[in-house]
Structure 1
Amino acid sequence: MCSVSCCASRVSFSRLEDFESLAQKRLPKDVWEYYGYPSCSGFTLQENKRAFQRYRLLPRVLRDVSSVDTTATVLGSRLDMPVALSPTAHHSLAHPDGEKATAKGAASANTAYVVSSFANHSLEDIAQAAPGGVRWFYLIPQNDPSRTKELLRRAESAGYSGIWLTVDQPRFQFQQRPESKMESAAGVMRLPNLTFEDVRGDASSQEFTTYLSDNVKQPITWEDVIWLRKNTQLKIVLKGILTAEDAEEAVRVGVDGICVSNHGGRQLDGVPATIDALPEVVRAVDGKAEVYLDGGVRTGTDVLKALALGARCVFIGRPALWGLACNGAEGVHQVLEVLKDQLNLAMAQAGCTQMSDIKPSLVVHESYYLHGHHCHTGTCNN
């Protein structure tokens, strides 16, 4: 397992929990709580992490694992690892360079970054900061279709190769935005990927909040996905699907990818952990689109379990923010390298030398042992 150094203290870190602990010490209390707050009781947030522990790995032994290849092709791009960065908001609360630093960190690890519409830097500036990086854009549709088209044009012109839609957020709680009381590490907080010529000023202002409430399209529906498919040549990923029925509909309307996600436990509390929902979605998609997962991934073995259950790639949100708070672009890179090295070791210990070796038979639910049920890959009676 790797040992990396983080921040001015040059502490060697080999676990994401170490980044989390230091980030909590370095970030203002209100920023830390904003990044970490869950919906309602926080059940889903905690369940995302607990659920990984309920799956057991069944390693194959006496195989030549002297060389392990963690590379993967995701949405047409070759990445050094099947771990990439989810869209998260307001990176300038953690570091003055905000999303520009995050993009640099992802690019230096040769993996992908989904840039949020709630980024504090523009699509163009983020692209310029990491010109060789793989970037996708999480789009917030506008009530005015011409403005949505303008955002698509900007993403295409700046070299973004995919569009993501978050589908599990039918209502934005603009009037209750906790970040509105915070001060950006870079000074004035802006949202240039939601801003058009008729709005100026700090994104934390009441004027801007009213502007968002009046202009952001909510809720979006399947008709919006169909419209998007007709208005862009970029690949489309829907983030936030948890059921077979919605996965089948996504395939029907022609999306390229589905991210099994519950918004990091920040939306509807009490929904399934993403690792539990993953097998059903994979079966429903039946190879007609790529399937990803985010939520609760904290170790290389978590990544391995998700891959075995059918995910092509996993995405991390909060851990990238921890790395950013610790050490800017280098901190993001270090977080990714920890997961890559942990995955490399886990694959070797499981008898896998490449992605194609990671099969569903590698994972079994704990109920197989606790209750004697034959429960491979989530098909158990528990």
Structure 2
Amino acid sequence: MTADHYVLPKLANIPADVIAICDYERLAKEYMPHGIYEYITGGAGDDITLNGNRRAFDAIAMNMRVLRKFTQGSTAMTLNGEAFASPLLVAPLAYQALLHPEGELATVAGVNAVNMGMLTSTLSSVPLEDISAQQQTPKWFQLYLQPNAEHTLDLLRRAEQANYTAIVVTVDAPVSGLRNRQQRAGFSLPAGVVAANLRDYPQAKTQALAQGQSVLLNGLMADAPSWQDIQWLCEHTELPVWIKGISHPQDALLATQSGCAGIVVSNHGGRTLDGLAPSITVLPSVRKAVGDALPILLDSGIRRGTDIFKALALGANGVLIGRPVLNGLVVAGALGVAHSLTLLQQEFELAMALAGCQSLDDIQADCIHLTT
């Protein structure tokens, strides 16, 4: 596969029959080679967690309240003292040059158009500084802790100097998940698509193993981050540090004790350990563990505005949007990103209106109930 890997030019206009996120999912397969499609769309193993994320949202019903007064309707929220017009943020998405010649810069243009926050990935195909220079909305940086602490610290300083306002450390992928779908498709990164932020950091040397030791358990995992690394990071920056990939209440408590400013409940979109519980299912227990001490974002499986409503009702302050953004990007570039996010925002506002909630604070546990 070469750098010239795009199947069709991006649409200049949105087709009339693209009216929901599922329509972008339908079109996206036509706009990328099979290998890239499997890399973007697939989960780990047998896609149990990937598919479970969607089933879990569908098993939650909403309650309608009627004849409620709407005098000051708003979807605004505040995180870390920073104002957001909407509880929707774009998730950290790696290697966007796979889907568009401008990569993350096209996504930023779409995000700017709809005034939503975005997290830039450590594995972005455009340098974090260039992305920040173009972004006009709240901008956070997603950090993968590097094997070399000096490289981690350098990434942190670069993010600070580029005016990012929060650091989000992803902790649920110390090693890559078993991506069988992309393996079967023979996916590999095309020439020219690289992790631009890591170009200047040499690869860590492989640890020597004794006879009979496991490459994974005794090698790769020996260098994996720990809670001490999170504490170290918090001590080395004045920016709020969030932790992404929490699904267990005890880990949520450890995040609080380590100095984290917020939590992202996530199973990595079903791309790490197959068989994990859906993110929306574990959200209530994480919220119960930390109480009101920390704000919580949720990702994995959101495809409708009603999903956002359900997440907030179960304890999230906001959500991260992943694959829907990528599908919009590959189909119609910045326009597709803006349109996808607008669809979700409009659906969310409709859910609020019909459920009788004029602000995010009105969305409480009594707004939903679980079905069988």
TM-score (structure 1 length as normaliser): 0.85
3-state DSSP class of the match of 2:264? strand
Q: Distance in 1 between matches of 2:54 and 2:179?
A: 30
Alignment of 1:306-345 (within 5 A): 306-345=311-350
Does structure 2 retain, via aligned residues, the 8 Å contact 1:142–1:215? no
Q: Distance in 2 between matches of 1:75 and 1:149?
A: 22
3-state DSSP class of the match of 1:148? helix
Does structure 1 retain, via aligned residues, the 8 Å contact 2:178–2:272? no
**Compared with structure 1, are the counterparts of its residues 192 and 9 closer, same or farther at alpha carbon in structure 2 (3 Å cutoff)?**
closer
Offset, 1:181: 5.0
Q: Distance in 2 between matches of 1:198 and 1:167?
A: 21
Offset, 1:279: 0.3
2:158 counterpart of 1:154: yes
Structure-2 residue corresponding to 1:82:
87
Alignment of 1:128-143 (within 5 A): 128-130=133-135, 132-143=136-147
**Compared with structure 1, are the counterparts of its residues 287 and 95 closer, same or farther at alpha carbon in structure 2 (3 Å cutoff)?**
same
Offset, 1:70: 1.5
Number of residues of Structure 1 aligned to a counterpart in Structure 2: 345
**Compared with structure 1, are the counterparts of its residues 226 and 196 closer, same or farther at alpha carbon in structure 2 (3 Å cutoff)?**
same
Q: Distance in 2 between matches of 1:119 and 1:262?
A: 20
Does structure 2 retain, via aligned residues, the 8 Å contact 1:143–1:215? no
Does structure 1 retain, via aligned residues, the 8 Å contact 2:299–2:321? yes
Does structure 2 retain, via aligned residues, the 8 Å contact 1:117–1:139? yes
Gaps of 5+ in 1: 1-5, 200-213, 368-382
Structure-1 residue corresponding to 2:173:
169
**Compared with structure 1, are the counterparts of its residues 327 and 77 closer, same or farther at alpha carbon in structure 2 (3 Å cutoff)?**
farther
1:154-198 Cα distance to aligned partner (Å, 9 max, x none): 0001111111111111224799986995565xx612212112165
Q: Please identify, of 39-48 and 326-335, the stretch whose mean Cα deviation from structure 2 is larger.
A: 326-335
CA RMSD of aligned residues (A): 2.4
**Compared with structure 1, are the counterparts of its residues 274 and 87 closer, same or farther at alpha carbon in structure 2 (3 Å cutoff)?**
same
3-state DSSP class of the match of 1:141? coil
Q: Distance in 1 between matches of 2:341 and 2:82?
A: 17
Q: Distance in 1 between matches of 2:240 and 2:99?
A: 30
Does structure 1 retain, via aligned residues, the 8 Å contact 2:177–2:273? no
Offset, 1:66: 7.0
Does structure 1 retain, via aligned residues, the 8 Å contact 2:76–2:85? yes
TM-score (structure 2 length as normaliser): 0.87
Does structure 2 retain, via aligned residues, the 8 Å contact 1:137–1:163? yes
Q: Distance in 1 between matches of 2:229 and 2:186?
A: 29
Identity of aligned residues (%): 37
Gaps of 5+ in 2: 1-9, 204-218
**Compared with structure 1, are the counterparts of its residues 328 and 216 closer, same or farther at alpha carbon in structure 2 (3 Å cutoff)?**
farther
3-state DSSP class of the match of 2:100? coil
Q: Distance in 2 between matches of 1:160 and 1:112?
A: 11
2:356 counterpart of 1:351: yes
2:304 counterpart of 1:299: yes
Q: Distance in 1 between matches of 2:63 and 2:320?
A: 24
Offset, 1:356: 1.2
Q: Distance in 1 between matches of 2:277 and 2:179?
A: 28
